[in-house]
Chains A and B, each alone.
Chain A
């Protein structure tokens, strides 16, 4: 579903998107449109985007086209989703150990909505770290 969503084609665009948005969470997916993980994530993001449009805006960034953030945000996974609010990176305690990003494809729409809502609620109160409603530490069932 990536073709339905807004892509950001340069570092400047990404910066502007994060900067300009006044009262909405900015959700950016870093990865490749052709990546299977990204495809799954984009599917969920797109199906949710209309529902959360009042408090969240979503963008896609191709990390080959825009490599500016790879080092800064340590984007080494095939699919990474990060949240920003008023030019500030919002961390989420997902239970995975990496509080900076969601680095796996999410397939459950309601879970994603819940995370976005929690991010919005925390960020609008000025918090830099929010706790995810679900613990993803047991995501990989070994």
Chain B
């Protein structure tokens, strides 16, 4: 680990310090904090030792999200703003801040890449799991390395900007893209007259025009020999980095499209490699649910430690969110797009794990579908149609009636008994009966109304059981009686809500009961009124 960063102004040294001495002095080192904390982009997840984690939580403010078992922690991306805020003017040697290009790790990876490119191992249809293939780990580490290289390019770009600023301070505002900027710096170089330099054709004409215009009014001064040499060396670094990056990308792309062609077709080879690396292989990745894989690479940010507002932080977004297909969606639709893409990603990964559709046709098909879907998301909702009112025609109303409606009305109609209860005889106290704390008056009920028969409860207004309900309750009663008839504890008595007491012979089965009934009614023959003596119809042979 590097020592914690010191304030740069406190360790400002004399300008003419030799590069070699400054390199040895550790006090002049600059440390960039990765967005994810302190991780140095280890290829092996096990290398994450304890103090590294503590460091991460302590100063990072942003933590790497979940890493599944067997997965490889992805390399941490540098925050561009952090880089832009760092002042690199004091550092004379680019080698101090950009160590990657000469590092052993990058060299090893590049050497391995060239070795495997010359003699590729068969990763697509190899026997045994993919994770055991040595080339697979190279793909993952190379992909992680590409992130490191990107970080390094950011730093080198900043370094060149800081050191070239005395010559042409406005140039960095005119060109935002690092490669274009570096190309422009190389073309302008340390010329005496800025207006007379020839810019490369790769620059857009509008930019060239604005550069020429700004060059006439710029306050820049010519760089000293030493200053220009520093810039030149940094440009050389940047070009080396670019070559390394392209090499890595070409390699990862070729390998990923043979390992996971369908997945790569959807999210691109770089992100596919990141996803597989984090999950710990294609098999492990294909076993994940779609809702989990979209959080792969998501960063856990704590508001307390970071100075940024929570609104700008994209929470629950991972590698898939940064894929070109999701980014092609409108900002408000990106979360929806992310869900759709991750669902198809996991299907593609399962196809890849099952080693079918090796040409990536399924992935391409889904990519097309997703693109269509994302386009649809951006469409405005359909216009509301004004619905025409119906023609105000008066139709003849259907009158519902008949037996059923009449019965229903009768069931709720006022009965004679109720009418009597409501009636009061003048000058006589009505009979009352008490229920709890209230009394119910009986009115003229029970008093001689002059009729021979007293008023009775109307049968039509009684509560009735529906047929289905009646059958059900009967069945309940029957099952009580008919079950286990021989045990001796059963009884032929059963209580049904309809009939009260019912006596059946429990020993008789249903068929026997039918037979018994038939014996009673049809004992003398089926057609009882056809005389057996013979027919009276003329023409029939009579005995």
Q: A residues touching B (Cβ–Cβ < 8 Å)?
A: 50-55, 113, 117, 120-121, 124
B223 to chain A, nearest CB (A): 69
Q: Told that A113-B389, A121-B394 touch, could you supply 18 new A-B pairs with CB distance under 8 A?
A: A50-B386, A51-B386, A51-B387, A51-B388, A51-B389, A52-B388, A52-B389, A53-B388, A54-B388, A54-B389, A54-B390, A54-B391, A55-B389, A117-B389, A117-B392, A120-B391, A120-B392, A121-B393
B interface, how many residues as a size bin? under 10
A-contacting residues of B (Cβ < 8 Å)? 386-394
Q: Is the interface of B mostly helix, strand, loop or mixed?
A: loop
* B540 CB to nearest chain A CB (Å): 70
A120 to B394, CA, bound (A): 11
C-alpha gap A55/B391 in the complex (Å): 6
Q: How far is the CA of A121 from the CA of B394 in the complex (A)?
A: 8
**A56 to chain B: closest CB distance in Å?**
10
* Separation of A25 and B198 alpha carbons in the complex (Å): 79
Cα distance, A52 to B392, chains bound together (Å)? 10
Q: Distance in Å from the Cβ of A120 to the closest Cβ of chain B? A: 6
Would you give the shortest CB distance from B441 to chain A, in whole angstroms?
48
Distance of A50 Cα from B389 Cα, bound (Å):
9
A120 partner residues in chain B, CB cutoff 8 A: 391-392
Residues of B within 8 A of A54 (CB): 388-391
Contact call B392/A121, Cβ cutoff below 8 A: yes
CB neighbours (8 Å) of B388 from chain A are 50-54
Q: How far is the CB of A133 from chain B (nearest CB, A)?
A: 12
A interface SS class? loop
- Of B387, B390, B391, which is in contact with the most chain A CB atoms at under 10 Å from its CB? B391
Partner among B386, B387, B392, B394 whose Cβ is within 8 Å of the Cβ of A55:
B392
Sample of 25 A–B contacts (CB below 8 Å): A50-B386, A50-B388, A51-B386, A51-B387, A51-B388, A51-B389, A52-B388, A52-B389, A53-B388, A54-B388, A54-B389, A54-B390, A54-B391, A55-B389, A55-B391, A55-B392, A113-B389, A117-B389, A117-B392, A120-B391, A120-B392, A121-B392, A121-B393, A121-B394, A124-B393
Residues of A within 8 A of B390 (CB): 54
Q: How far is the CB of A7 from chain B (nearest CB, A)?
A: 22
Chain A residues whose C-beta falls within 8 Å of the C-beta of B394 in the assembled complex: 121
Q: For the complex, what is the distance from the CA of A53 to the CA of B364, rounded to whole Å?
A: 49
Q: Which residue of B lies closest to A119 (CB)?
A: B392
| Chain A min CB distance to B111 (Å) | 75
Residues of B contacting A124 with CB < 8 Å? 393
Complex Cα–Cα for A54 and B388 (A): 7
Residue ID in chain A nearest B389 by CB atoms: A51
- Separation of A51 and B390 alpha carbons in the complex (Å): 9
Query: How far apart sit A52 and B391, CA to CA, in the bound complex (Å)?
Result: 8
Kindly state the separation between the CA atoms of A103 and B387 in the bound complex, as whole angstroms: 29
Which residue of chain A has the shortest Cβ distance to B385 in the bound complex?
A50
Q: 3 smallest A-B Cβ distances: which pairs? A: A117-B392, A55-B391, A50-B386
Q: Report Cα–Cα, A124/B391, bound state, in Å.
A: 11
> Which residues of A sit under 8 angstroms from B386, Cβ to Cβ?
50-51
With a CB–CB cut-off of 8 A, which chain B residues contact A121? 392-394
Shortest B397–chain A CB gap in Å is 15
User: A2 to chain B: closest CB distance in Å?
Assistant: 19
Please, how many angstroms separate the alpha-carbon atoms of A113 and B388 in the complex? 11
Closest to B386 in A: A50
Contacts of A117 in B (CB 8 A): 389, 392
Residues of A within 8 A of B387 (CB): 51
Residues of B within 8 A of A55 (CB): 389, 391-392
> In this complex, what residue of B is CB-closest to A50?
B386
A43 to chain B, nearest CB (A): 15
Min Cβ gap A111→B in Å is 14
Complex alpha-carbon distance, A117 and B394, angstroms: 11
A53 to B391, CA, bound (A): 9
Bound complex: CA of A53 vs CA of B388, how far in Å?
Answer: 6
A121 to chain B, nearest CB (A): 5
B115 to chain A, nearest CB (A): 75
Q: Which residue of B lies closest to A53 (CB)?
A: B388
Kindly list chain A residues whose C-beta atoms are within 8 Å of the C-beta of B393.
121, 124
Residue of A nearest to B387 (CB): A51
Minimum CB–CB distance from B355 to chain A (whole Å) comes to: 60
Contacts of B389 in A (CB 8 A): 51-52, 54-55, 113, 117
User: Bound complex: CA of A121 vs CA of B386, how far in Å?
Assistant: 22
A53 to B393, CA, bound (A): 14
CB distance from B286 to the nearest CB of A (A): 55
CB distance from A112 to the nearest CB of B (A): 12
CA distance A114 to B387 in the complex (A): 16
Nearest-neighbour CB distance to chain A for B542, whole angstroms, equals 75
- A58, chain B: closest CB distance, angstroms: 13
Give the CA-CA distance A53 to B392 in the complex, in Å: 12
Q: How far is the CB of A23 from chain B (nearest CB, A)?
A: 9
Shortest Cβ distance from residue B384 to the other chain A in the assembled complex, whole angstroms? 12
> Chain A's nearest CB lies how many Å from the CB of B386?
5
Cβ-closest chain A residue relative to B392: A117
Contacts of A113 in B (CB 8 A): 389
Nearest CB of B to A13, in Å: 25
B128 to A: closest C-beta gap in Å: 70
Min CB distance, A117 to chain B, in Å?
Answer: 4
CA distance A113 to B392 in the complex (A): 11
Residues of B contacting A50 in the complex (Cβ-Cβ under 8 angstroms): 386, 388
With both chains docked as a complex, state the minimum distance between the C-beta of B295 and any C-beta of chain A, in angstroms. 49
**A114 nearest in chain B by CB position:** B392
Residue of A nearest to B394 (CB): A121
B171 to chain A, nearest CB (A): 56
Residue on B with the closest CB to A24? Answer: B391
Bound: A51/B387 CA distance, A: 6
Q: How far is A51 from B385 in the complex, measured between Cα atoms in Å?
A: 10
In the assembled complex, the Cα of A50 lies from the Cα of B387 at a distance in Å of: 8
How far, in angstroms, from A54 to B391 measured CA to CA in the complex? 6
| Bound form: Cα–Cα A50–B392 in Å | 15
